[in-house]
């Protein structure tokens, strides 16, 4: 995780601003190779009104050989692995910071202090892959109680046995796994794990 600790809240940032002023707050930062990725939140005053924009991701590639000639995100062949790892990490941070849990299913009727049998995300959209069109998907599961505690979340991958992926199907499923793994990190980071 690359989330910056002790960042000011929007209210704290707005309290420090003059009228018609604004400020970016870096909520997370990943530096790998030639890339620096940040999750930024912008707080501003517009006359008497104040506003906070949703956090967004900025990726700077100016440190590649060629320096400031890179104004857009450019990936030179020797830097592609660093770029992929940077995007994966900053995406995970973004999911945590924006509470990107997705839909959660819980069992009813747990007693205080006793664990539910299970709770978890609905998971990524399922795919039907290969010549047999077998269903695959991922989801995150854990146990929880009415006191707000959860057990360690785990990522479950449902592929069944002997699933054959076409190459593009495998790539699409890998992207879904990244999405679900980021949800799992967000749940773990925002919850009291017992």
pLDDT in tens, the chain (194 residues): 688 999 999 999 999 988 889 999 999 999 998 899 999 999 998 888 899 999 999 998 877 776 556 667 888 888 899 999 999 999 989 988 988 777 888 776 656 567 766 788 887 888 999 888 999 999 999 888 777 788 899 999 988 788 889 999 999 999 999 989 988 888 888 777 77
Give the SS3 label for residue 132.
coil
- pTM for the model stands at 0.76
pLDDT score for 113: 61
Do residues 155 and 118 both lie within one domain?
A: yes
pLDDT score for 117: 63
The number of angstroms, rounded, from the C-alpha of 101 to the middle of its chain's C-alpha atoms is 9
pLDDT score for 10: 93
Q: Closest Cα partner for 61 from 92, 83, 81, 90?
A: 83
Classify residue 123: in a domain, yes or no.
yes
Classify residue 4: in a domain, yes or no.
no
Is residue 161 exposed (0-12), middle (13-18) or buried (19+ Cβ within 10 Å)? exposed
Do residues 184 and 156 both lie within one domain?
A: yes
Do residues 109 and 161 both lie within one domain?
A: yes
| Size of the chain in residues | 194
Find the domain containing 74 and state its range. Answer: 10-97
Do residues 40 and 24 both lie within one domain?
A: yes
Residue 77, phi-psi category: left (phi > 0), alpha (psi -120 to 50), beta (remainder): alpha
Overall number of domains in the chain: 2
Do residues 123 and 82 both lie within one domain?
A: no
Do residues 84 and 120 both lie within one domain?
A: no
pLDDT score for 70: 62
Residue 148, phi-psi category: left (phi > 0), alpha (psi -120 to 50), beta (remainder): left
What element of type H or E holds 156?
strand 154-158
pLDDT score for 87: 92
pLDDT score for 53: 94
């Amino acid at each position: 995780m690359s989330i910056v600790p002790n960042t000011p809240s929007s209210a704290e940032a707005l309290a420090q601003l003059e009228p018609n002023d604004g400020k970016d707050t870096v909520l997370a930062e990943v530096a790998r190779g030639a890339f620096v990725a940040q999750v930024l939140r912008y707080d501003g005053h517009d006359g008497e009104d104040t506003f906070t924009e949703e956090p967004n991701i900025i990726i700077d590639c100016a440190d590649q050989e060629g320096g400031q000639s890179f104004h857009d995100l450019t990936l030179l062949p020797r830097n592609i692995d660093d770029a992929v790892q940077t995007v994966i990490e900053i995406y995970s941070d973004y999911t945590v910071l924006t509470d990107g849990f997705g839909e959660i299913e819980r069992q009813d009727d747990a007693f205080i202090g006793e664990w539910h049998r299970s709770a978890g995300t609905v998971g990524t959209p399922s795919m039907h892959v290969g010549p047999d069109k077998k269903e695959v998907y991922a989801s995150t599961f854990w146990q929880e109680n009415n006191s707000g505690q959860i057990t360690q979340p785990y990522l479950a991958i449902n592929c069944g046995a002997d699933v054959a992926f076409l190459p593009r199907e495998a790539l699409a499923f890998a992207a879904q796994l990244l999405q679900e793994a980021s949800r799992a990190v967000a749940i773990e980071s925002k919850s009291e794990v017992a």
